[in-house]
Amino acid sequence: MLPELVFSSDDLPAPDRFDAWRELMSSTHAPMRLESDRAADFWAHQRVIELGAVSVWPATYQQVVFIRTPELIRTADPETFHLSFLMKGEAGAIWDRVEKSYGPRDFHFNDSSRSYRIQTGVGPISSVGVEVPRALLPMQRGRAELAVGRHMSAQEGIGGLLAHFLTQLARGTSAYLPADGPRLGTVLTDLMAALVAHALDAEAALAPETRTRELSLRIKDFIRRNLHDSELTPSRIAEAHHISPGYLHRLFRAEAETVAAYVRRKRLEGARRDLADPALTGTPIHVIAARWGFPRATDFTRAFRAVYGITPKDHRYTQELHRNAVR
């Protein structure tokens, strides 16, 4: 039998069940915030099967919302890819402005380095999750990340093959020896890479305007995930997406905003949110500025005032007064 960790909410008092499962999810996947309309009477059953560096977790649970924020990513990022095979129920996922829905026999692919919000439907959910370290997926660096949000069906082809593998594994591991775990992990990783590559190859057959739209979305997502880097230049952005700086500027020209203006706007929006966050009241303004790609406090103050007509310090003070007034 393979090594397994089993969690059953029936073993805990009702008030403790949701918090216990939330802690388990944060350790088997990545630190995240969980919410549920059924938190008071939540139930879940989950097994974590160890296949060497790869883990598989069949789970059945009630309605829940999984939230991974940029702050949680900065706190801890295991740098893993997650693949979820949805067997029963429905779910919707949002990455910034990209939104997808999933039903039974669909795969959902995610990246621990990317923020998201995933909300399941009202009814119970049954799924099989797979965690693979990014470094182990046999694909060109940076390519697998492009598959986040792509449609991957478990009905046929590679998807059907992988779904069968996961279904058999979820039924029980008594027929396997502990030494089989790493071997099965290698097989599973190869199947997952084949599924991701298939989804990306299918994308290449899309119409040119669709590919351009998808490229723009990927570039914007890359920018949002790297706003903390003060060296985030158009040249670096173009290089990361294997296009010329000139083509990058043409993409943004169609939206009436330069690359630099988009980067600056997103940085200022993020810093403005943090300055209004009561949980960050004790964080110095220059630290918040540096987190959003402004290493020089004077540059940050000047840019912030030019856009919002107020200094960062005054904005924080105004937000604090407003919170106190509504208490």
Q: State residue 83 phi and psi, 5-degree precision.
A: -120, 125
Q: Where are the beta strands (DSSP E) in 89-176?
A: 91-95, 98-102, 106-111, 116-120, 125-133, 152-153
- Report the pLDDT value the prediction gives residue 97, as an integer from 0 to 100: 67
CB 124 within 8 A of CB 61: yes
Alpha-carbon distance of 251 to 40, in angstroms, equals: 48
- Report the pLDDT value the prediction gives residue 66, as an integer from 0 to 100: 93
The 10 Å Cβ neighbour count of residue 20 is 16
What region, left, alpha or beta, does residue 179 occupy, with left being phi > 0 and alpha being psi -120 to 50 degrees? alpha
- Report the pLDDT value the prediction gives residue 211, as an integer from 0 to 100: 64
- Report the pLDDT value the prediction gives residue 209, as an integer from 0 to 100: 65
Nearest Cα to Cα of residue 227 among 273, 286, 289: 289
Alpha-carbon distance of 327 to 187, in angstroms, equals: 57
Q: Which two tokens mark 21?
A: 């499962």
The pTM is what?
Answer: 0.62
Note the pLDDT tens digit of each residue in 148-179: 888 788 888 889 999 999 999 999 898 899 99
Q: What is the pLDDT along the chain (327 residues), one digit of tens a residue?
A: 888 999 999 999 988 999 998 888 888 788 899 999 888 889 999 999 999 999 999 999 999 999 999 889 988 899 999 999 999 999 999 887 678 888 899 999 999 998 999 999 888 899 999 999 988 888 877 788 888 888 788 888 889 999 999 999 999 898 899 999 999 999 999 899 888 888 887 655 545 665 677 678 778 878 888 898 888 999 999 988 888 999 999 888 877 789 999 999 999 999 999 998 888 988 999 999 999 999 999 999 999 999 999 999 999 988 887 777 766
CB 28 within 8 A of CB 57: yes
Domains annotated on the chain, with CATH: 4-203 (2.60.120.10), 209-326 (1.10.10.60)
